[in-house]
Chain A
Amino acid sequence: MEDQKQLFTVSIYTENNIGLLNRISAIFQRRHINIESINTSVSEIEEVSKFTIVVNLSEEKVKKILGQIEKQVEVIKAYYHTDDETIYQESCMFKLQSDLLFEERQIQNIIKESNARIVTVNKEFFVIEKSGRKEEVELLYRELKPFGILQFTRSGRISVSKKPMKISQMLKAFNY
């Protein structure tokens, strides 16, 4: 009876309070749900924070989780979206040995074709940055791996929904 699992992006608008991250992550932990990625940042509204959490769940479970999240006193509003309903990106950085730039011509092609950007180059190493969908980041990783990656890091997903989330109107209704 349970519907199929899929990726959902949960967007949570909150007050900017110490401990709220703990309170929200505890809701997932209680139900033994792994968070695929999490990002917190400022939002389009001053003094309002935004959590972007990616989870792999059935829609029924996501709805229940959302109820528990919205119940938290300092959560203003929470939404969930499928990948089709959002524009999303993540970002990554690779640190590689500088020799490669000169000795392996292919590297330059990989960088160009993947729309990655060279952030810095010095004698020992260079750093490239790439933003895009998870699959693009993973592809770049696979392509660079044979050359030896000194360091790699990837951010959590950030996303904007295609439809408006109407947070400003909600806050205005509260005479804010």
Chain B
Amino acid sequence: MNIQKEKISEGNISVTERISGSEAVIRCLLAEGVKTLYGYPGGAIMPVYDELYKYQDQIHHVLTRHEQGATHAAQGYARISGKVGVAIATSGPGATNFVTGIADAQIDSTPMVCITGQVGSHLLGSDAFQETDIVGISTPVTKWNHQITKASEIPEVFAKAFYIAKSGRPGPVLIDITKDAQFEEFDFNYQKCKGVRSYKPFPAIDSEKVQEAATLINKAKKPMIIWGQGVILGKAESELKAVIEKTGIPSAWTILGASAIPTSHPLNVGMLGMHGNYAPNKLTNECDVLIAIGMRFDDRVTGNLETYAKQAKVIHFEIDAAEIDKNVKTEVAVLGNAKESLSQLLSLLNPTEHTAWHQEFKDLYAIEYEKVIRHDLHPTKEGLTMGEVLKEINIQSNGDAAIVSDVGQHQMIACRYAEFNQTKSNITSGGLGTMGFGLPAAIGAKMAAPERQVVSISGDGGYQMTIQELGTIFQQKVAVKVVVLNNDFLGMVRQWQQMFFEKRYASTEMINPDFVAIAKAYYLKARKVTKREELKEAVAEMMASEEAYFLEVCVEKEGNVFPMIPTGASVSDIRLE
């Protein structure tokens, strides 16, 4: 087998060369500009790993400690960079361990290409060793998937996979390659995919619809913008900012949309949904025009749909036609990319101010501050709160850190209180709510953006679901900051048990190990904080560290996250206590 030593440039490779399928896999990745991939070797993918060895000066393979970690790392990489994340694993259990990360990427629209090895094609369907029907298993959770049984299919399928993963509404794609196709030699050349005839990722924007939207917005007395990740995925941050500033419309975000507009922006009125801010939830049911941009009216955002924004005319800017009228009936739907739609809209909008209406948000914020935020950020009682840890991180990072959270109470606190100056800074598992997402996702994020401060924030429950990735941090020397907010409980479930199950704490208390000792066993700098007086200095030490750092903060055991919209309740029934 000939070893390609010269650098391979990105893009099309028109010269035909005779190489193996496994070498072709690497050449395809290089042609798509992939520099880093996350994975775990095994029998059915060994030929590709052999090529990874030969190409190690051009492509960096990161050995995670579990295939699930590889998918989340690829997701973190994609979320912070906007590029396609790549993960690779063997057949059977390697492939099935991918499923959680793939499902997470599907529901959170993360561009990802997953490569799995498969048993030889003559063994397909024979229950061979480590055979599993991963194409069948992954079908409902992938944007597209395909099994390759002949080496000659590799270039076209890879080109299509990358095109599909990142175009339109992004998502995960899985390519399964039989072992014989990896060994087989064929004449390789590479053409980037320019389109798939049955797939229309870029809907043409209907300017009449944009005009209708503008007319409604111009006439509105109490308009409100709610934006989601579509703004970030569509690179429409500056267009959104311009729309908000021209019109003076109070604007709120879903957790995946967080950071698209800086937290400190005066018209940013906060977070939507179950544990979001009081004002935007309450006033969703009082606005006259609700302008949804790149968001999908998830049930955690809307609460009870029967009582959601019934008084408002709803405008929906959305790239995915299947989302229009799926949950909320729209008055005007503008199908298309957020960047183009908003720039068309901007020119049609009248400069307006909505001072009195904006004041209503401020008044409700003041109530929330007194009832909730003051206690969360400036507690006077003994136990440390999750909120004050976030506040300290905000202060010491100047709001420039990327926050990668896991799932649960700490996640809601992180999303509520983290201050973001720049986009793509809030990386979390939104739709799937995957505990264990945070730590490996932070690894991918830090590797994609080494110049940034990346802080992983987990609870003691989720952290232990992928704790083995400390090994990856150690081996790869990833300078990620790992914070565990430890309350010795599965806090969110415990909160629900307290509120809705009469304090029957079924299997939510955790007897935890010595987390500092575990981090130290992986040769990481580590520290534990139990008292308020130590917090500031400990966070300073962590932020100043040039290398990875583990910080455990023991917080109050039975703290609750408020506000809260109980399941099935209306957004206007949001509770402050």
CB-CB under 8 A from B195, the residues of chain A are 174
- Find residues 50-95 in chain A having any chain B CB closer than 8 Å to their own CB: 63-64, 67-68, 70-71, 73-76
CB-CB under 8 A from A26, the residues of chain B are 139-140
Give B102 Cβ to nearest chain A Cβ, in Å: 14
Can you add 20 more A-B contacts, CB < 8 Å, to A19-B135, A67-B321, A76-B197? A14-B198, A18-B147, A19-B139, A19-B145, A22-B136, A22-B139, A23-B140, A64-B322, A64-B326, A67-B322, A67-B323, A67-B324, A67-B326, A68-B322, A70-B322, A73-B144, A73-B196, A74-B199, A174-B195, A176-B197
CB-CB under 8 A from A18, the residues of chain B are 147
Contacts known (A18-B147, A22-B139); A71 close to B321, Cβ less than 8 A: yes
Residue of B nearest to A68 (CB): B322
CB-CB under 8 A from B320, the residues of chain A are 71
CB-CB under 8 A from B527, the residues of chain A are none
Do B199 and A73 have beta carbons less than 8 Å apart? yes
Give B201 Cβ to nearest chain A Cβ, in Å: 9
Do B322 and A75 have beta carbons less than 8 Å apart? no
CB-CB under 8 A from A74, the residues of chain B are 144, 198-199
How many residues of A are counted as interface, with CB atoms below 8 angstroms from the partner's CB atoms? Answer: 21
Do B199 and A23 have beta carbons less than 8 Å apart? no
Contacts known (A18-B147, A19-B145); A75 close to B198, Cβ less than 8 A: yes
Residue of A nearest to B327 (CB): A64
Query: Could you list which residues of chain B lie within 8 angstroms of chain A, going by C-beta atoms?
Result: 135-136, 139-140, 143-145, 147, 164, 195-199, 320-326
- Find residues 105-148 in chain A having any chain B CB closer than 8 Å to their own CB: none
* Cross-chain contact of A76 among B136, B198, B325 (Cβ < 8 A): B198
Residue of A nearest to B145 (CB): A19
Do B322 and A71 have beta carbons less than 8 Å apart? yes
Bound complex: CA A26 to CA B140 (Å): 7
CB-CB under 8 A from A71, the residues of chain B are 320-322
CB-CB under 8 A from A15, the residues of chain B are 197-198
Give B411 Cβ to nearest chain A Cβ, in Å: 26
- Whether, in the assembled complex, A171 has its beta carbon less than 8 Å from a beta carbon of chain B, the answer is yes
Cβ contacts A1-43/B at 8 Å (1 or 0 each): 0000000000000110011001100100010000000000000
Bound complex: CA A64 to CA B135 (Å): 25
Residue of A nearest to B197 (CB): A174
Contacts known (A67-B322, A171-B197); A23 close to B147, Cβ less than 8 A: no
**What 6 pairs between A and B have smallest CB-CB spacing?**
A67-B322, A76-B198, A174-B197, A73-B144, A73-B199, A26-B140
CB-CB under 8 A from A63, the residues of chain B are 325
20 contacts between A and B (CB under 8 A): A14-B198, A15-B197, A18-B147, A19-B135, A19-B147, A22-B139, A26-B140, A64-B322, A64-B326, A67-B322, A67-B324, A67-B326, A71-B322, A73-B143, A73-B164, A73-B198, A74-B144, A74-B198, A174-B197, A176-B197
Give A168 Cβ to nearest chain B Cβ, in Å: 12
CB-CB under 8 A from B198, the residues of chain A are 14-15, 73-76
Do A30 and B135 have beta carbons less than 8 Å apart? no
Bound complex: CA A44 to CA B363 (Å): 64
Q: Which of B139, B143, B145 counts the most A-chain CB atoms under 10 A from its CB?
A: B139
